Amino acid sequence: MLSLFCALEPLRVANRFGGDLYSWHFFSQDGEPVISSSGIPVAVETGLDGLERCSILIVDASFEPEASLTPELLSRLRQLDRKGMVIGAMDTGCYALAHAGLLENHRTTLHWESLAAFKEAFPKIRTTTKLFEFDENRFSCSGGTAAIDMMLHMIRQRHGAELSRKVSDQFIHERIRGTQDHQCLDAGRRLNIHHPQLVQVVEVMEQNLEEPLDISELATVVQLPLRCLQRLFHKQLNSTPTRFYLQLRLERARQLLRQTQMPVVEVGIACGFHSPEHFSRSYKSCFGLSPRTDRKQDLELQRMALQRGC
């Protein structure tokens, strides 16, 4: 619901200041109301047949984005693309565009929590960690409050900076973030570490989870003696380089287990564990349960939450 209304409200306020600049319509695959993850039903006008009246289409999705994809929806998206419609996605809505083949040769972004799983499913699609992306007749948004910034960007492009600023002020939106802004803080601010070479090492670790580097290689990359690197990890992260690196890999594995249907063995390989036994043992030591059990429990919790509307 958050990304949906963060996208809608800037258009409403733009109309308040500028007249009838925008109109919007809600559609679902079957024409029935869509129940959000918060349990609130979103009324729609009609099913997929109504899409023809739009000049811009936004596909919005959240948890389990592939569960509701149908051949009819994917076919309709391709049809609209052939007619030249501008098509975008918010949060995990890009899964629908990817399955329809509409993201080839286009940059796309999505919520950071789903990024690793998406890259595993669609390795040839160019993904970024930006708040939003515009690439020819495609656009995408990472979701949440980033939808406000994306819509303010669209308003500025179509109707000027003054209107965009007025709309922003109505939301007490301190700064309009742009296409250069990223979703997450850099490693230094995120982990509250200040040593530049330690920040660099963490970033290199995060970029090399499938084929982990030796700690001695990491020290060489940042031109630090190994013992100095170990002292930095102990002082600023209360950990060792090896233990910290392992934690990063296990956290990535948990994301993939919970957000994809990849076999457990493949998840382990994607996170640098070439022995299933080592992966399972390390995972259980970290999270208190095996990869398979964690996946099963998470699926059960998601289903219960959807049933309760929470």
The model's pLDDT over 4-47, given as tens digits with 9 standing for 90+, comes to 999 999 999 999 999 999 999 999 988 888 888 777 888 898 88
Cα–Cα distance for residue pair 49/129, rounded to 1 Å: 33
How does strand 132-135 pair with strand 126-128? unpaired
* Radius of gyration of the chain measured on its C-alpha atoms: 22
CATH code for residues 2-170:
3.40.50.880
Per-residue pLDDT for 131 more than 90? yes
Per-residue pLDDT for 171 more than 50? yes
Q: What is the mean pLDDT of the chain?
A: 91
pTM, entire model? 0.78
pLDDT at res. 93: 95
pLDDT at res. 305: 64
The two counts, helices (H) then strands (E), for the chain are: 14, 8
Mean pLDDT of 234-260: 94
Separation of CA 35 from chain center: 21
Per-residue pLDDT for 254 more than 60? yes
Q: Break the chain into its structural domains and give their ranges.
A: 2-170, 187-305
- Nearest CA-CA partner of 116 in 206, 3, 245, 211: 206
Distances (CA, A) of 32 to 29, 43, 45, 89: 8, 7, 8, 21
Per-residue pLDDT for 310 more than 50? no
Axis crossing angle, helix 291-308 with helix 241-259, rounded to the nearest 10: 50
- Nearest CA-CA partner of 251 in 196, 185, 205, 302: 205
Cα–Cα distance for residue pair 7/42, rounded to 1 Å: 15
In CATH terms, 187-305 corresponds, of 3.30.420.40, 3.10.450.50, 2.40.30.200, 1.10.10.60, to 1.10.10.60
Least confident of 2-11, 67-76, 252-261, 295-304: 295-304
Alpha-carbon torsion (111, 113, 114, 117), positive or negative: positive
User: Under 8 Å CB-to-CB from 283, ≥6 apart: which residues?
Assistant: 250, 253, 254, 290, 291, 294
Cα–Cα distance for residue pair 137/105, rounded to 1 Å: 11
pLDDT at res. 252: 93
How does strand 138-141 pair with strand 132-135? antiparallel
Mean pLDDT of 147-160: 96
